[in-house]
Amino acid sequence: MQINENFSLKQYNTFGIDVSTRYFIEYQTEKELHDLLAGGLPAQPVFSLGAGSNLLFTHDYEGVMLHSQIKDIEPVEEHNDCVLVRAGAGVVWDDFVAYCVEKGWGGVENLSLIPGTVGASPVQNIGAYGVEAKDVVCKVDGVSFGSNSPVSFTNADCKFGYRDSAFKHLDEKIIVTYVNFRLSKKPEFKLEYGTIKEELKKYETINLQTIRRAIISIRESKLPDPVVMGNAGSFFKNPVVSKMQFEQLATQYPTIPHYTVSEQEVKIPAAWLIEQSGWKGKSCGNVGVHDKQPLVLINKGNATGDEVVKLSNQIRSSVEAKFNIKIYPEVIFL
């Protein structure tokens, strides 16, 4: 176990915000985590940090950041058509995807290259290209922070929603240790979303490997690499509006892109709303709006969390003034 004091988090958040935490503690195993909690933590509050790819730090953290280094992946059950795989919370998400694709197990290939860790995948219910974590997660194992006792959540217990899950709303904090996934040995490919089919024309066959490569190249063409330019992926969620409000908007903007969510609700890409409000590619000091995907806010160098919050508030006000639609951050502010 590694305990660090007054530790810089700059390398631990993809926005690259330079803040520090009072304590930063890494543990390698579930037992180390239990021992750590049993011995009492040196400060409060406590936050379980993954890869920091969906966070915005707005100030130094006065408590303890726990960082899982539980990194084992193992198949725990095998059936004719599927396999259950258990992966440690500290595994890099895309390493897990690469492992499954390599084994020929389908289900997560559309989630290739999403930044983050396995432990964060059910919390955020990560999603892309027509697939969400909820489609493959069968059980989440963790430790209840208050009682230091093991807990398990079935898929239904997780109460998955759009970039949402029970883990964000529990009264008692849970630290995820392992996530169990159900993967298919006879996968049905999901190719309907966006330009996947078009991208796949570059390959002779369609299989898990080529889908993974196609998704990676689509993502790389649109989303900035956090190593080159700090960002946290989509900064905002795509808003859901009533069908009535959508129909009113459609008379004014006949080309408005949209997805039907239910008979009464329609989802509108926040990227479109932000672009129409004039923000695409705009800069504000050290922060900016990405020129290929305006859902993504970028750190142009040495930005503070407050600068990002300020820009995000300006964008939200513009979108609300123009369309009467509220957009909300997907990123968590700390």
Site for ligand EPU in 261-300 (CB under 6 A): 269, 271-272, 275, 280, 293-295
Least distance from C-beta 148 to ligand EPU, angstroms?
32
Apex 123 CA angle, 100 and 298, nearest 5: 90
Q: Which of 234, 277, 307, 312 is catalytic?
A: 234
Residue 3 DSSP SS3: strand
Site for ligand EPU in 188-217 (CB under 6 A): 193-194
Q: Return d(Cα 134, Cα 126) in angstroms, integer.
A: 8
Among positions 238, 277, 299, 312, the unique one binding ligand EPU when judged by CB under 6 A: 238
**In the bound complex, which residue of the shown chain has the CB atom lying closest to ligand EPU?**
233
Looking at the Cβ atoms of 176 and 232, the one nearer to ligand EPU is 232
Tokens of 204: 């002779």
Beta-bridge partner residues of 240: 267
Least distance from C-beta 193 to ligand EPU, angstroms?
6
Site for ligand EPU in 77-136 (CB under 6 A): 128-129
Q: Which of 30, 68, 132, 163 is catalytic?
A: 163
Among positions 257, 278, 281, 301, the unique one binding ligand EPU when judged by CB under 6 A: 257
- Are residues 188 and 180 in contact, defined by beta-carbon separation less than 8 angstroms? no
Q: Which of 30, 109, 132, 330 is catalytic?
A: 330
Tokens of 83: 């396999």
Instruction: Give the range of 132-140, 142-150, 168-176, 232-240 binding ligand EPU by CB under 6 A.
Output: 232-240
Is 163 a catalytic site residue? yes
Confirm or reject binding of residue 233 to ligand EPU (CB under 6 A). yes
Is 30 a catalytic site residue? no
Range 266-271 contact pairs with CB under 8 angstroms and sequence separation of 24 or more: 266/240, 266/241, 266/242, 267/238, 267/239, 267/240, 267/241, 268/238, 268/239, 268/240, 268/241, 268/325, 269/238, 269/295, 270/234, 270/236, 270/237, 270/238, 270/239, 270/295, 270/319, 270/327, 271/295
Is 234 a catalytic site residue? yes
Return residues touching ligand EPU (CB under 6 A): 128-129, 193-194, 222, 233-234, 237-238, 257, 269, 271-272, 275, 280, 293-295, 330
The catalytic site residues sit at 163, 234, 330
